Structures are given as C-alpha cells and as structure tokens.
Amino acid sequence: MALKDRWSFHIKIDEMTDEQKITVRRGAYRITEEFGEVRLKTSISLWLRLTDKNSESLCVLGHDFPGVTGMIRVDKNPPIETKENGCVQLTESLDNQLRAGNKITIRGSAWPYRGAETQEIDLGGYAAITDFLRSRRK
C-alpha cells in the first residue's frame, strides 16, 4: 500500500468519563524518484476531530503560535482562516469539498518560529476513513 493512502486514526475511551474520542491525522509527503513517497519532517499536519457529530473540526496540527491563525485551502477553493487554535468547524460544505478534492493546503506557525509553514496533503482516502470512523461513533 502506498503511503499516500494511509491515514492515522485513534479511537480512545477516556478512563474516567468513558467518553469516546475519535481523531484522524495525516502528514505531508513528497514524491522522489529514488525513494518514492517520503514523509516530510514538519510539525504542521492535518488533524480531524470526529468525536461529536454536532461539532466536528478540522485543524492544522502543530499550529500553536500565540495570536496567529492558520489557513486551509482545498484544491483551488477559497482559503479558510482558522481560529487562533488552528481549527475550523467541519461543516457539511467543507466535508463535501474534502470528499471531492485532491489535496488540501495547510498553513500554520509553530512556536517559537513566527514564520508560516505551508504544506500540501493528499486527500486520497478521506471519504473512506471518515465514513469508517463516523460509523463507529457512539
């Protein structure tokens, strides 16, 4: 299986509250002639919180510079600015863009470096992984 088809997910039951938490993560890769797909060394990645169907969110993981927001852009759709925590609500409209899209471009600023970092992430398999995890939501 190619790396571009891999999404990392985590389903956890909190030991104290028994609350289920569902998260998904995907990092950026680069294609090389010699090694094929190579994961980029970056602190910026795509992160989804799917725990609650009424408040799903999409985040720029690693975005943690105080007072700075992140950005996301699916294919050539207009960019969306995140909240200061690096997240936006995963609305039906945004979910549809991700399902139909080929790539998402994310931008964040990791502490203590003020300069923004931009990464492109392949969306292959997005619909399959989110459908799978949503079907396991309690």
* Predicted pLDDT of residue 1: 38
pLDDT tens-place string over residues 90-137: 999 999 999 999 999 999 887 777 678 888 888 999 999 999 999 999
* Predicted pLDDT of residue 32: 57
pLDDT tens-place string over residues 53-100: 999 999 998 777 778 888 999 999 999 999 888 899 999 999 999 999
Between the CA of residue 52 and those of 4, 47, 48, what are the distances in Å? 27, 15, 11
User: What are the structural domains of the chain?
Assistant: 3-135 (2.60.40.1880)
